[in-house]
A and B are shown apart, each in its own frame.
Chain A
Amino acid sequence: MLRLFSRRNVMAAGVVFFALLPFFANPYVLFIGNLALMYILLSVGLNMLLGYAGQLAFAHAALFGVGAYTTGLLKLELGLHYGLALVAGVGLATVTGLAVALPALRLRGLYLALATVAFAQATLWVFTHWNSVTYGGAGFRVPPLDFEPFTSRPDIGVYVLTFVIVLVSVPLGWNMLRSRVGRAWVAIRESEVAAESLGIDITRYKSIAYVVSAMYAGAAGGLFAGMLGIVTPESFDLFQVIVHFCMVIVGGLGSLWGGVLGAVGLVGLQEVLRAFRHLQEIAFGGLILFTVLVIPGGAVSLLKRYVPGWKEPLRRTEHDE
């Protein structure tokens, strides 16, 4: 009976669900589904850096913003094809991620956290105040997307594009985690000295973690700009940082599939609380606290304990802190 809920089955059901959603969902539900898929990208990328490589960095929401702004502005100002603008968004977010990594490699723990929070705030400041480029606090509208001849409905177009990107990039990330790259990240998280003494170049592998995680954030940002049709600074503020952390921590730090579940679950929660933004902040903060104190391994640790077939490589177990 429980075998029915093995990781493979749940994931397959999820894929089928998201694949069929455009056929029966109304535009609102489709939008929420799209949001969930986009958050899966964010969560997978953040989990690599935070959960696997163990780098307490808060730059993710800013990189998400860089992806969104780059994609949106290229579409708006140059009339670039959305696909190309998206690729450029991923590119600039990745370069920015590398730029964050260079100083961040020298920092650890609390200092890394502070430096990256400062980076996130500085980026937000640029979004808000560089009026001539970013249109300031009010943001800007992205011109309507065009997915002809595939579909006349842009919302379905973005949805399918997001779905395909998730379907491709999540397994790619999963493969990376199952290889020596994932093991090197976990080794760095657990002990840099021991990792080095096994021949792991920690500078190199931390940089890789920053870069790969930035690629996911950039892609999510570009898709976000496309699906929402409007880009404003407040989408990338510290509350977003909390939302991203919440997905990964509540789902399961250091568990890719946990993070995926967290993303989907929290998008649902966010929608339920859509009308009460302040309640959202309290709920998300409270949820992080609850998880850290009561189920430190995240929701996925419960699944691993009670559902056979939820094992995954490099897994964190429930007795971890």
Chain B
Amino acid sequence: MSKLRATDISISFGGLKALDSVGIDVEAGEIRGIIGPNGAGKTTLLNVICGIDPPDTGTVWLDGESINGLKTSQIADRGIGRTFQTTKLFKGMTVLENVMTGLHGKMRANPLAAAFSFRSVLREEAGAARRAREVLEFVRMLEFADEEATSLSFGQQRLVEIARALVSEPEGLLLDEPAVGLSLTRVTEVDELLRRIRLERGVTILMIEHVIRLVMGVCDRITVLNGGRKIADGTADEVMADAEVAEAYLGAELDA
């Protein structure tokens, strides 16, 4: 069954058509990669799916239900987590506080109850801290729980951001270049982490990635965008064999 589906998505910024009737269909439990040259519209597609950029035309479906017109925070509450191309950890918070912020939608404390620190609020806080630690353990960052989040290395921040998106136990995860700028060992770690996220947490993953080794290794299927259009969709082998994909990346053959 399809978990996440987008049909006929078009969106323009000013005169620029960032996406031109793009469709994507992600099966439950799938790890789907999105690749394409710079400016292909990959991040825009993620932004459309999670409600940051409302599309001009087209519909986004979550579990067969349209989520068009919902606010980003509402889409998050429906179980879609998100990380960003440039890590957006909150400065001024520890790693633990950052991850606990990911539980916002799962918590109920209202400002008044919080001000009076009702027992229910304290219990909820303690539970949130426990869940945050548990997910930090899962991404193997627990030892940094009390560090200032933005003082960590780039690769560590990426893992914390994934933990922050995971802590609310989303069913779908949108990752924008989780391995960008990471060393080879780190890429292997991310590869293994993504597999564990699917296996142990049953999360469907849609990710943009330039690190071909990671995309080819971990993704069940790959969608290729170029210039705002979808040019291919299939397994790694199918996509690699596609002439249009080769052309998009390498240019047309000179003797063609």
Contact = CB atoms under 8 A, between A and B. Distances in A.
Given A172-B116, A184-B104, A187-B101, A179 B109 contact: yes
A194 B165 CA distance: 10
B92 A180 contact: no
B72 A197 contact: yes
A199 B93 contact: no
A212 B115 CA distance: 11
Interface stretch (A85-93, A133-141, A308-316): A308-316
A179 B107 CA distance: 10
Contact of B104 (A176, A183, A191, A317): A183
A272 interface: no
A16 interface: no
Contacts of A184: 101, 104
Nearest to A255: B92
Interface in A181-209: 181, 183-184, 186-187, 189-191, 193-202, 208
Contacts of A189: 90, 92
Interface stretch (B76-84, B218-226, B235-243): B76-84
Q: Which of A179, A190, A195, A199: most chain B CB closer than 10 A?
A: A199
B104 A198 contact: yes
B111 A181 contact: yes
A320 B91 contact: yes
Contact of A196 (B72, B107, B114): B72
Nearest to A172: B115
B164 A198 contact: yes
Contacts of A178: 114, 125
Contacts of B104: 180, 183-184, 187, 198-200
B121 A186 contact: no
B2 interface: no
Interface string B135-157: 00000000000001001000000
A173 interface: yes
Contacts of B72: 193, 196-197
Interface string B175-205: 0000000000000000000000000000000
Interface string B84-99: 1000111111000100
A189 B92 CA distance: 10
Nearest to A175: B117
A33 interface: no
A310 to B, nearest CB: 14
Nearest to B108: A180
Nearest to B90: A190
Contacts of B109: 179-181
B101 A183 contact: yes
A179 B88 contact: no
B98 to A, nearest CB: 9
A194 B150 CA distance: 15
B114 A179 contact: yes
Given A183-B100, A183-B104, A196-B71, A176 B92 contact: no
B168 interface: yes
Contacts of A221: none
A189 B89 CA distance: 11
B121 A179 contact: yes
B88 A193 contact: yes
Q: Which of A186, A191, A194, A197: most chain B CB closer than 10 A?
A: A197
Contacts of A175: 114-117
Given A194-B84, A212-B111, 12 more contacts: A172-B116, A180-B114, A183-B93, A183-B100, A187-B104, A196-B73, A196-B76, A197-B50, A198-B101, A198-B102, A208-B111, A317-B92
30 contacts: A172-B115, A173-B115, A175-B116, A175-B117, A178-B114, A179-B111, A179-B121, A179-B125, A180-B103, A180-B104, A184-B101, A186-B92, A187-B90, A189-B92, A190-B90, A191-B88, A193-B72, A196-B72, A197-B73, A197-B82, A198-B105, A198-B165, A198-B168, A199-B73, A199-B74, A199-B104, A199-B106, A200-B104, A317-B92, A320-B92
